[in-house]
Amino acid sequence: MDLQTSKIELVKEILNIENPSLIQRVFDLLKSEEKDAFALTEIEEKEIQIGIEQLDKGMRVPAREFLQKFS
DSSP state of 27: H
State whether 33 and 8 are in the same domain. yes
Burial 11-21 (b: 16+ CB within 10 A, else e): eeeeeeeeeee
Distances in Å between the Cα of 47 and the Cα atoms of 5, 19, 35, 58 are: 41, 44, 20, 17
Same domain as 47, residue 16: no
What pLDDT, in 10s, does the model give residues 1-37?
Answer: 788 999 999 999 999 999 999 999 998 888 887 666 6
Using a cut of 0.85, tell me whether the model's pTM lies above it.
no
Report pLDDT for 14. 92
Task: Determine contact, residues 23/17, Cβ cutoff 8 Å.
Answer: yes
Range(s) of the domain holding residue 33: 1-39
Q: Do residues 23 and 50 share a domain? A: no
In angstroms, the CA 64 to CA 4 distance is: 43
